[in-house]
Amino acid sequence: MFANFDFNVIERSWRYLFFDGMAFTLKLTLLAMLGGIVVGTLLAMCRLSSFKPLALVAGGYVNLVRSIPLVLVIFWFYFLVPYIGAWLIGANEPVHVGAFSSSLITFVMFEACYYCEIMRAGIQSVSRGQVSAGHALGLNYWQTMGHIVLPQAFRNMAPVLLTQTVVLFQDVSLVYVLSITDFVGAASKVAQRDGRLVEMYLFVALVYFVLCYALSSLVKRLEHRIAIIR
Amino acid sequence: MNYHWNWNIFWQPHPEGGGTYMTSLFDGLGWTLTTALSAWIIALVLGALVGTMRTTPKAWMVRLGNAYVELFRNIPLLVQMFLWYFVMPELLPKGMGDWLKQLPSSAFITAVLSLGFFTSARVAEQVKAGIGSLPRGQTLAGTALGLTLPQTYRYIVLPQAFRIILPPLTSEFLNIIKNSAVALTIGLVELTARARSMQEFSFQVFEAFTAATVIYIFVNIIVVNLMRLLEKKVAVPGLIAAGH
């Protein structure tokens, strides 16, 4: 079955695949994870805020983004970000935003909604007495959140946050729709240039499988360790 | 900012084919729903089967089920679609592969297969969790009554498990509708692809995407409410799942 396949194409192109493609994918995943967790935590705090308009706006945004496909969100931000940029700096023309920044903003704003729901559950998993104790000690809202509630919420939710990051790592492949050279994009360029679609896509699937499987096994082990401590 | 809004664009004729931009969007919605529903059938059947396998006492079945779930969960949907679309026809016997590639609806069939298998792994996780949440006594009581293992599953375990997992299954169904947009990469002209083509032809970016967004939200609301009705309809008084 594999007789007339040319697996040499991988040997010829692996540098490009990993140093250009996978480097982009990993960089985007890590930065989007950090940004997404920060924005997501802020969104979660807004959703749980006692100031109703803030809770409504944050909740509306999260539910809106969560009900449309990621591909559509990618298109939205791709066209929207230049206009928002122009509005922010007061320019008349839409500003030029590079492929990387554009997709980074997209993924931060998209994944933030999913991280938000995780962090909301995490914050709610910390008992109310902890907050009251913080206030009783004279800490203000930010001190209570920063020193008491959020550290516990993060620890409780660490496995779920990491699982979501594995999902994010897979989601990043969708920047393909903007013809960006991520791991899949790089592979598909080589595949089309050399007419070696079968070999390339099988290789891409294998690499993703190994990485995601390893990551999710790590998450499972972490989950067990945290469960024992608690 | 000088973006020219033109909300009347929806009533103008689409340069490709008959109707207006509006009818082309709804045409896309039709493909989105057809794809999602067909894939959902595959996902539900395979997911129920694999999820059940993973709870049986047979070790080889559990291992096979686990391997299935890991395989389909750890490869991005986009890559899975490429595998079904570009790779599978090459691995089949030549005649069959060529026939498959020339089918006019090959994008649709590929999308249904890849979405179906991808989602089936996630359904299997839910089914396994649902069965796991039942008290062990249920299975024991079934076998004590003289039912065989398949009978215990058919009459005791699965009917309860499915009622418990209806809410997570609802969100999986919403996911399959959203994920069907990935199929635009293999040329399926579903809703997002239609919005994209409207943007390319008319340059009314934000009108096109707003329309698609609104349609997706409406579909979401309808699905959520239908599933709530279904939950009420199948609820068994006194059972855990009917507990509210």
Instruction: Tell me which residue has tokens 């291992």.
Output: B63
CB B111 within 8 A of CB B180: yes
Judging contacts by C-beta atoms under 8 Å, the chain B residues touching residue A87 are 1
Inter-chain contacts counted by CB atoms under 8 A, chains A and B: 107
SS3 at position A196? coil
Contact call for A69 and B216, based on CB within 8 A: yes
Instruction: Tell me which residue has tokens 């609802």.
Output: B170
Q: Which of A141, A148, A159 lies closest to A218, judged by CA?
A: A159
Q: How confident is the model at residue B244 (pLDDT cuts 50, 70, 90)?
A: very low
Contact call for A68 and B3, based on CB within 8 A: no
Which amino acid is located at A189 in the chain? K
State whether residue B185 sits within 8 Å of chain A by CB. Answer: yes
Question: A222 phi and psi, to 5 degrees?
Answer: -60, -40
Q: Is pLDDT of B17 > 80?
A: no
Q: Is pLDDT of B241 > 70?
A: no
Judging contacts by C-beta atoms under 8 Å, the chain A residues touching residue B214 are none
Tell me: the pLDDT tens digits for A186-210?
Answer: 999 998 888 888 889 999 999 999 9
- Looking at the complex, report in whole angstroms how far the Cα of residue B81 sits from the nearest Cα belonging to chain A: 10
If you average pLDDT over every residue of chain A, what do you get?
91
Judging contacts by C-beta atoms under 8 Å, the chain B residues touching residue A71 are 181-182, 184, 192
Contact call for A72 and B1, based on CB within 8 A: no
State whether residue B87 sits within 8 Å of chain A by CB. Answer: yes
Query: What domains appear along chain A, each with residue ranges and CATH number?
Result: 8-229 (1.10.3720.10)
Mean pLDDT, range A147-173, rounded to an integer? 94
Mean pLDDT, range A144-171, rounded to an integer? 94
Question: B20 phi and psi, to 5 degrees?
Answer: -85, 175
Nearest to B216 among A67, A201, A208 (CB): A67
Q: CA A42 to CA A131: how far, in whole Å?
A: 17
Continuous H helices in chain B: 21-53, 59-73, 77-82, 88-91, 94-102, 106-132, 136-144, 149-152, 158-164, 166-179, 191-202, 205-234
State whether residue B101 sits within 8 Å of chain A by CB. Answer: no
Contact call for B78 and A87, based on CB within 8 A: no
Judging contacts by C-beta atoms under 8 Å, the chain A residues touching residue B170 are none
Judging contacts by C-beta atoms under 8 Å, the chain A residues touching residue B178 are 67-70
SS3 at position B203? coil
State whether residue B213 sits within 8 Å of chain A by CB. Answer: yes
Tell me: the pLDDT tens digits for A125-142?
Answer: 998 899 999 999 999 999
Nearest to A202 among B87, B199, B206 (CB): B87
Contact call for B184 and A177, based on CB within 8 A: yes
> What interface predicted TM-score (ipTM) does this complex get?
0.90
State whether residue B182 sits within 8 Å of chain A by CB. Answer: yes
State whether residue B74 sits within 8 Å of chain A by CB. Answer: yes
So what's the pLDDT on residue A105? 94
State whether residue B195 sits within 8 Å of chain A by CB. Answer: yes
Residue B13 is classified by DSSP as B
State whether residue B189 sits within 8 Å of chain A by CB. Answer: no
Q: Is pLDDT of B105 > 80?
A: yes
So what's the pLDDT on residue A2? 59
- Looking at the complex, report in whole angstroms how far the Cα of residue A151 sits from the nearest Cα belonging to chain B: 29
Q: Is pLDDT of B239 > 70?
A: no
Q: CA A66 to CA B234: how far, in whole Å?
A: 28
Question: pLDDT higher for B6 or A60?
Answer: A60
Q: Is pLDDT of B29 > 90?
A: yes
So what's the pLDDT on residue A228? 56
- Looking at the complex, report in whole angstroms how far the Cα of residue A193 sits from the nearest Cα belonging to chain B: 15
Contact call for A198 and B212, based on CB within 8 A: no
Tell me: the pLDDT tens digits for A26-37?
Answer: 999 999 999 999
State the Cα angle at B96 between B71 and A5, rounded to 5°. Answer: 60
Mean pLDDT, range B148-173, rounded to an integer? 93
Give the CATH fold of the B26-190 domain: MetI-like fold (1.10.3720)
Mean pLDDT, range A144-152, rounded to an integer? 94
Q: Which residue of chain A comes nearest to B72, CA vs CA?
A: A209
The answer to which of A84-88, B4-8, B149-153, B172-176 has the lowest mean pLDDT is B4-8
Tell me: the pLDDT tens digits for A207-220?
Answer: 999 999 999 999 98
Percent of the residues in chain A that have a pLDDT greater than 70, as a whole number: 97
SS3 at position B225? helix
Angle at which helices A183-194 and A8-15 pack, to 10 degrees? 130
Tell me: the pLDDT tens digits for B189-223?
Answer: 999 999 998 888 888 889 999 999 999 999 999 99
Structural domain spans, chain B: 26-190
Q: Could you tell me the two tokens for B115?
A: 């979405």
CB B24 within 8 A of CB B157: no
So what's the pLDDT on residue B5? 83
Tell me: the pLDDT tens digits for B119-132?
Answer: 999 999 999 999 99
So what's the pLDDT on residue A229? 58
Q: How confident is the model at residue B52 (pLDDT cuts 50, 70, 90)?
A: very high
